[in-house]
C-alpha cells in the first residue's frame, strides 16, 4: 500500500499523556530523522519505533546519508498562532548526497532506549539527489501543531 499520509504515532502519544509519562522532550536536539522509501506501510495505531517493523527495512541509503538518520536541530515549541501549540525545527538537509526514492521521514526519540516514533512526514512523492543537497523545508505551521482551543 505504501505511504499515503503524515501522522502521529498513537502508542507514543498515549504513553506521553497517560500514567506511563514517557519523557519525550520536543526541545531536545537529539531527535533523529530517518528517511524511507514508499515500500513501507505505516500504521499509526500500532507502529512504535525506529528499528521495529516496518522501520527496520527499506530505509534510504547513499552518499551523505547514514542509516538511523540525522539529528533534527534548532527545535522549538511555541504558541503560534494563538491557541495552537507548534513544534518546529530548522530545515533539514544533507549536502553532497546521493539518495534515491525518499518518500517519507520518520522523526523519532533517539535519546530514549525505545527509539520511540514521534511523527511520520509524507513527502507526497519520491525524491532523489545525485551529488546534490536533499532538503526538507518545514511548513510555516512547523513539523506538527495542535489546535488547543475548544471547538
- Per DSSP, 29 falls in state S
Give 113's contacts (C-beta < 8 A, 6+ positions apart).
Answer: none
Which residues, in sequence order, are CB contacts of 25 under 8 Å at separation 6+?
A: none
Average the pLDDT over 89-105 and give the result. Answer: 96
Instruction: Return the percentage of the chain with pLDDT > 90, whole number.
Output: 95
CA 108 – CA 90 distance, rounded (Å): 16
How far apart (Å, rounded) are the C-alpha atoms in residues 55 and 137?
23
pLDDT at site 125 = 97
Give the residue carrying C-alpha cell 507548534. Answer: 86
Mean pLDDT (the chain, rounded)? 95
Share of the chain above pLDDT 70, in %: 100
Q: Is the peptide bond before 54 cis (omega within 30 degrees of 0)?
A: yes
| Rg of the chain on CA atoms, in Å | 15
Q: Is the pLDDT of residue 83 over 90?
A: yes
Return the C-alpha cell found at 42: 505505516
Q: Give the Cβ contact number of residue 60 at 10 Å.
A: 23
pLDDT in tens, 119-146: 999 999 999 999 999 999 999 999 999 9
Domain positions in the chain: 7-139
85 touches 105 (CB < 8 A): no
Asked whether the predicted pLDDT for residue 150 surpasses 90, the reply is no
pLDDT tens digits along 42-56: 999 999 999 999 999
Amino acid at each position: 500500500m505504501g505511504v499515503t499520509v503524515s501522522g502521529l504515532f498513537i502508542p507514543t502519544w498515549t504513553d506521553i499523556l497517560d500514567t506511563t509519562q514517557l519523557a519525550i522532550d520536543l526541545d531536545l536536539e537529539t531527535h533523529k530523522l530517518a528517511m524511507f522509501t514508499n515500500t513501507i506501510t505505516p500504521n499509526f495505531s500500532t507502529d512504535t519505533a525506529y528499528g521495529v517493523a516496518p522501520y527496520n527495512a527499506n530505509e534510504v541509503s547513499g552518499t551523505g546519508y547514514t542509516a538511523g538518520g540525522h539529528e533534527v536541530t534548532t527545535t522549538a515549541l511555541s504558541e503560534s498562532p494563538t491557541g495552537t501549540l507548534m513544534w518546529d525545527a530548522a530545515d533539514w538537509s544533507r549536502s553532497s548526497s546521493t539518495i534515491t526514492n525518499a518518500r517519507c521521514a520518520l522523526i523519532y526519540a533517539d535519546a530514549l532506549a525505545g527509539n520511540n516514533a514521534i511523527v511520520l512526514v509524507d513527502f507526497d512523492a519520491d525524491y532523489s539527489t545525485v551529488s546534490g543537497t536533499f532538503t526538507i523545508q518545514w511548513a510555516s505551521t512547523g513539523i506538527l501543531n495542535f489546535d488547543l482551543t475548544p471547538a
